[in-house]
Structure formats: structure tokens, C-alpha cells
Amino acid sequence: MKVLVIGPGGREHAIVRSLLADPNVSEVHAAPGNAGIGKLVPTHAIDANDPDAVAALAAKLTVDLVVVGPEAPLAAGVSDAVRAAGIPVFGPSKAAAQLEASKAFAKQVMAEAGVPTAMARVASNAEEAADALDTFGAPYVVKDDGLAAGKGVVVTNNRDEALAHAQTCFDVGGSVVIEEFLDGPEVSVFVLCDGRNTVALSPAQDFKRIYDNDEGPNTGGMGAYTPLEWAPEGLVQEVIDRVAQPTVNEMAHRGTPFVGVLFVGLALTKRGTRVIEFNVRFGDPETQAVLARLKTPLGSLLLAAAKGELDKAEELRWSKDTAVAVVVASENYPDTPRTGDRIRGLKKVDELEGVHVIHAGTKLDEEGKVVSAGGRVLAVVALGTDLVEARERAYDGVELVQLEGGQFRTDIGRKAARGEIKVAATNGSVTGTLPVTKAKA
């Protein structure tokens, strides 16, 4: 089968790498790709957010499957255009992608489907925002209602800062969702969906803040590891039963079936498992770690989802190893990242046992050298027999990467490796549903 992968980042590089390991996949193309993807497969310089351009490329290449990586093309309707051209596509329609593109929409669907999540209110002016902040109290959680690449959320004890973030969203004509604070370890679970059926991948943990010990501003994600030895038994089943399947059922019921990955971001709180957010695509950098362990051929699996045949797909098989991905970001990320710097040492990283480099914001300069081209530049991904070994290998790799001003976290997977993550005993039970309430007019 021939596959076209849409997107420019680390997630797409990881997907391409896994597709190339699938014996049923004969040819892979990517658009627009990055320097790492370009070393593996032909890339095409089109606008990934342009539905007609993507559909035309897919038709020209006569691919059997299009895999859409990031949220922006999904929200722009790329899947709809490809589907309308009669080509199977792994990625939700524009309507279904609202589960990520609008946090308020996601909250409505969760309420309708009985999915446990944080209590929340939508606010569209300063008065409503202040009222909602005082209802829930500190720590304050204020989320830009639209797409913000993981950077639209402010969690703070400072009420003025919370109000200021809301105001910056109002100033550009937006609204915010203000929530109760969810306390407890966070987990990312990717659930493959074919419109009806759901199959969960192995849970991972992401590190959202820029600095060690979860300090500094939120980013798209600075590292990840999987599996989670400390996760309660039955967590994945609970996510399917209480979150993913009800959501998929609700979306089908609304006439906007969900095909693609439902990314369930969870907090394991004292009061039970709660959804923090939905995304409608694979997580980045979790995917780099999760796919490193997946033994089931990826192309066949994604094609089955695209065709509504996940119930016929083979059962997932996983490596016994643990995978760790450590992101190397450019100077000044997540603010205005510095770009255009040479990246050296990558060949040496790839030579390490159990280690490989996944490119994110990279490109080739005029001389054909790899340079930084984005905030998150690359991830070093390592497999090891346990988390301790995988971390050691990943950080050995990171030490070899030379990038002026490059920054990375030194504590990816550290707490888990030390056995320091505690999940409050909830017997895996979910207590109640907390629906969204509209702010007072």
C-alpha cells in the first residue's frame, strides 16, 4: 500500500518511520515533512492546511491512505477533502475535529456522553471570567477556547495573571474556558477510532512545562515515556468504557463520526479519573515513544481505522521495552524560538544502541546541512529494558546533540524511575459527571 503522511513535525517523522517498517507498506510520501523525514521518503512542498492541495497530491500519487498528523489541517477540513476524493484517510472531519479546535465544544460532548471531566464555565468577558475564577478558586485554570498548540492554557495561583490571560483572549475576539483545578498525575492515552470501534494504545506520560520539576510556561511537550508501570490496573479499560467509546458513540449519534486518534489527556485525581482535554490527533512527543514500542504493522492498523474496520484489525502487540523521548528545543522556546542554527552530532546519536533521532523543527539549509527551523527541534528516542536504562540511553544521546542555545529537560521519566509517582486510591472508579455550565449572561 502507498501512504501519504501530512505534517511537518516529530510526530510525522515517527509515523513515517513506523510505516516504513510495515511489510504491507510499499511506498510512503510526506508533505511538507522536515529534514529527517526527507532522508527517509520523498517530500512534497505543499501547504498542509490547504484541503484541495492535499487531496490533489493524494490523487496524483494514487495513495491508498492519507494520514493527517497535526490538528491545524484537520480543523481546516483536509480529511473531508481527501475523503470526498474517494481516498481513505486517517484523521477526523472538520466537524469531528471540533473536539480539539473548541474546548467549549469538547465540554458539551463530554457532558452529553457522561464523560468525567473538570467542572468548567465558558466566559467571553472580564466580568464572566472573574465570576468563574472566584467560583472555582485557586489554582486557576484558564484556557483559550481555540487552537493554541498547547500554549493557550494558563494554570496559576495568581488571580491577576489568570484574568490577564483571559483578557488577551477576549482582546482578539475569543472566549475562554475556566475550570476547576485537577490535581494528580497526568496520562496521555491514544485511542484509535474508526467511527464506531475503539482501540487504545499503551498509555504515556508527557512533560508540558519547559523547565525541570514542571516549572515555567507550558509547551507542546518536552518529553515522554511509555509504558507507565505505576498506572492503575484497568486504566486503559476505564478510558475505553467511560471516555472513548461514549465519545465515539456521541459523535456518531450527532452525524459527525470520529475517525482517527482520540487523544485523551487525563488527570488521575483523588476523586477519580478526569479528562483534562481531548485532542484529535497523535500527541507529540508521546507518539515518538509509543510507536517505538508498537510491533503491530502501523499502516494496516491506520487503514483499518480509516475504512471503519478496526474490529477486524489484529490485536496490538508491544515490545517489552520501555521507551523515552527527550525533546531538544531551541533557545527561547516556547516564546519566540531562535532558528537557523546548525545541528551537529545526530549521526553519532543514531549509532547508539537502542537510540534514534526524530526530527521536528528542522530543515536543510542551502548547503544541505541540517538547521533548526522551529521551537521543538528534535527528540532523542531510546528503548531500554526498563525506564532507568531507557533514560540513560536517551540522555547519552542528548549529550551528543550540538545545537547553539538548545534546551532540554533533565527529568523526563525521572520521578517514575524513582518510584515517586503516587496515584490516589480510587479503585479505578469514576465518580460522577461534571457537566459544563454556561456563564451567566
Q: For 364, phi and psi rounded to 5 degrees?
A: -95, 135
Of residues 63 and 204, the one with the C-beta less far from ligand GLY: 204
Select the binding partner of residue 118 from ligand AMP, ligand GLY, none (C-beta < 5 to 8 A, by kind): ligand AMP
d(C-alpha 232, C-alpha 425), whole Å = 9
Select the binding partner of residue 284 from ligand AMP, ligand GLY, none (C-beta < 5 to 8 A, by kind): ligand GLY
Q: Are 121 and 137 in contact (CB under 8 A)?
A: no
Select the binding partner of residue 105 from ligand GLY, ligand AMP, none (C-beta < 5 to 8 A, by kind): none
Distances from the Cα of 198 to the Cα of 135, 230, 250, 313, angstroms: 36, 24, 13, 11
Of residues 73 and 150, the one with the C-beta less far from ligand AMP: 150
Q: Which of 286, 400, 416, 436 binds ligand GLY (CB under 6 A)?
A: 286
Select the binding partner of residue 155 from ligand GLY, ligand AMP, none (C-beta < 5 to 8 A, by kind): ligand AMP
Q: Which residue's Cβ lies closest to ligand GLY?
A: 221
Q: Which residue's Cβ lies closest to ligand AMP?
A: 277
Q: Which of 112, 238, 284, 341 binds ligand GLY (CB under 6 A)?
A: 284
Q: Is 12 in the site for ligand GLY (CB under 6 A)?
A: no
Cell of 439: 456563564
3-state class of 324 per DSSP? strand
Cell of 151: 500554549
Q: For 153, phi and psi rounded to 5 degrees?
A: -110, 130
Other Cβ atoms within 10 Å of 336 Cβ, number: 10
Of residues 280 and 400, the one with the C-beta less far from ligand GLY: 280
Q: How far is the CB of 96 from ligand GLY (least distance, A)?
A: 17
Q: How far is the CB of 286 from ligand GLY (least distance, A)?
A: 6
Q: How far is the CB of 129 from ligand GLY (least distance, A)?
A: 24
Binding mask 138-177 for ligand GLY (x = CB under 6 A): ------------x---------------------------
Of residues 88 and 152, the one with the C-beta less far from ligand AMP: 152
Select the binding partner of residue 182 from ligand AMP, ligand GLY, none (C-beta < 5 to 8 A, by kind): ligand AMP
3-state class of 75 per DSSP? helix
* Number of shown-chain residues binding ligand GLY (CB under 6 A): 8
Of residues 180 and 284, the one with the C-beta less far from ligand GLY: 284
Q: Are 104 and 124 in contact (CB under 8 A)?
A: no
Select the binding partner of residue 221 from ligand GLY, ligand AMP, none (C-beta < 5 to 8 A, by kind): ligand GLY
Select the binding partner of residue 7 from ligand GLY, ligand AMP, none (C-beta < 5 to 8 A, by kind): none
- Residues in contact with ligand AMP by CB under 6 A are 118, 141, 143, 150, 153, 155, 179, 181-182, 186, 208, 218, 265, 276-277
Of residues 258 and 304, the one with the C-beta less far from ligand GLY: 258
Biggest alpha carbon distance in the chain?
61
Of residues 276 and 403, the one with the C-beta less far from ligand GLY: 276
d(C-alpha 358, C-alpha 378), whole Å = 6
Of residues 104 and 118, the one with the C-beta less far from ligand AMP: 118
3-state class of 154 per DSSP? strand
Q: Which phi-psi region, left, alpha or beta, contains residue 149 (left: φ > 0; alpha: ψ -120 to 50)? A: left
Q: Are 15 and 291 in contact (CB under 8 A)?
A: yes
Q: How far is the CB of 262 from ligand AMP (least distance, A)?
A: 14
d(C-alpha 271, C-alpha 306), whole Å = 36
Cell of 414: 525521572
3-state class of 236 per DSSP? helix
Choose the binding region for ligand GLY from 76-84, 278-286, 289-297, 382-390 (rule: CB under 6 A).
278-286
What is the DSSP pairing of strand 89-90 with strand 362-364?
unpaired
Choose the binding region for ligand GLY from 133-141, 279-287, 297-305, 357-365 (rule: CB under 6 A).
279-287
Cell of 41: 521518503
Select the binding partner of residue 283 from ligand GLY, ligand AMP, none (C-beta < 5 to 8 A, by kind): ligand GLY
Q: Are 219 and 333 in contact (CB under 8 A)?
A: yes
Helix (H), strand (E), coil (C) string for 100-151: HHCHHHHHHHHHHHCCCECCEEEECCHHHHHHHHHHHCCCEEEEECCCCCCC
d(C-alpha 44, C-alpha 33), whole Å = 8
Q: Are 375 and 220 in contact (CB under 8 A)?
A: yes
Q: How far is the CB of 409 from ligand AMP (least distance, A)?
A: 14
Q: Is 206 in the site for ligand GLY (CB under 6 A)?
A: yes
Select the binding partner of residue 112 from ligand GLY, ligand AMP, none (C-beta < 5 to 8 A, by kind): none
Q: Which phi-psi region, left, alpha or beta, contains residue 275 (left: φ > 0; alpha: ψ -120 to 50)? A: beta
Please report, as ranges, the residues that interact with ligand GLY according to CB under 6 A.
150, 206, 220-221, 279, 283-284, 286
